[in-house]
Amino acid sequence: MTSDMGGKTVVITGAAGGVGAAAAKRFAEAGAALVLGDLAAVALEELCGRLAAISEVHGVVCDVTSVADVENLMAEAVDATGRIDVLVNTAGLWVEGPSEEMTEADWDRVVDVNLKGTFFACSCAIPELKKTEGCIINLSSDCGLVGTPETAIYTASKGGVSLMTKALAIELAPHLVRVNAVCPADIMTPMLQYQADTYGGGDPEGYFKRLLTGYFQGDKARFITPEEVAELIFFLASAPAAPITGANISIDFGTSAGYGYAE
């Protein structure tokens, strides 16, 4: 693995989750110091234990819906390593179902984590990112780019993340701070397993099969791996991505590219 992140500090929210942990490992292998935030204290501690063998790592229990927690996460990063070069926002929640059955609590929970949490993590990191001419990578979704049925709340939150990413990119360009989003389709992570367990009507395998029938690859369709998304995140934080800012980059087997033709 390359060591071109040596001397840099990467902050990741939702780090104990599927994408967050894969991204943390990828940056650790490249020599970055890691400051990892998550609400799930036990999983976070386990992850930090595993990664400590590879690179410098600091875990901070952090609820991204609390601005005070997010401020503390960034302050811990600066206290421990003196800088922030990369912020990766992966903390996220899923909800689905007919919109007439959604509750105010569903909206508040999902929008608070996915949109408010992402915004304030960016906001709190900006002063340090300006000093390092660093970058932000936000986790949006194919649902941030196109509408899908029975996902209005999640889609609203990710659509917000995608457009907010563009606004921040323009705002921060004069400071050479880059802001991009990645927009994956279904990744095999605890979130996808939660979806299948919660909304699969007692048949999680059936839920997975139904998802894959929405892909253009037919019987060769498969889920994306967290490592594939981590590689894209890593690329966006690396030197060859210097001209890329304000982009929403799809990693979705074409799910957001357009309509298929009926056979």
Give the CA count within 13 Å in the CB-facing half-sphere of 79: 9
Q: Which residue among 154, 199, 207, 261 is the active-site one?
A: 154
The Cα–Cα gap between 248 and 161 comes to: 10
Is residue 62 part of the contact set for ligand NAD (CB under 6 A)? yes
Binding test (CB under 6 A) with ligand NAD, winner from 59, 92, 159, 160? 92
Q: Could you say which of 9, 65, 162, 245 contacts ligand NAD (CB under 6 A)?
A: 65
Encoded tokens for 75:
């302050």
Instruction: Please tell me whether residue 191 binds ligand NAD under the rule CB under 6 A.
Output: yes
Which of 128, 186 has the CB closer to ligand NAD? 186
- Identity of the residue numbered 70: V
Instruction: Give whichever of 193 and 238 is closer to ligand NAD, judged by the CB atom.
Output: 193
180 binds ligand NAD (CB under 6 A): no
16 binds ligand NAD (CB under 6 A): yes
Contact between 232 and ligand NAD by CB under 6 A: the answer reads no
Report the candidate in 229, 139, 220, 218 with the shortest Cα–Cα distance to residue 188.
229
The token pair that represents 30 in the structure block:
């490249």
Q: Does 125 bind ligand NAD (CB under 6 A)?
A: no
Q: Is the dihedral of CA 42, 38, 23, 131 positive or negative?
A: negative
- Is-contact 24 38, C-beta < 8 A? no
Nearest 5°: the CA angle 183, 188, 190 is 105
- Minimum distance of ligand NAD from residue 44's CB (angstroms): 8
- State the nearest-atom distance from the C-beta of 212 to ligand NAD, in Å: 12
Least Cα distance to 34 among 63, 5, 62 occurs for 5
Q: Is 14 in the site for ligand NAD (CB under 6 A)?
A: yes
- Per CB under 6 A, 187 contacts ligand NAD: yes
Q: Rounded distance, CA 84 to CA 136, Å?
A: 10
**Known catalytic membership, residue 215:** no
95 lies in the site for ligand NAD, by CB under 6 A: no
Size of the site for ligand NAD (CB under 6 A): 29
At 101, list the tokens: 């059955």
Should residue 39 be labelled a site residue for ligand NAD when binding is judged by CB under 6 A? Answer: yes
Furthest C-alpha separation in the chain: 59
Distance CA(204)–CA(210), nearest Å, equals: 10
Of 117 and 134, which has the nearer Cβ to ligand NAD? 117
Rounded Cα–Cα distance for residues 86 and 137 (Å): 8
Q: Which of the residues are catalytic?
A: 154
List residues near ligand NAD by CB under 6 A: 13-14, 16-20, 38-40, 62-65, 90-93, 113, 117, 139, 141, 184, 186-187, 189-192
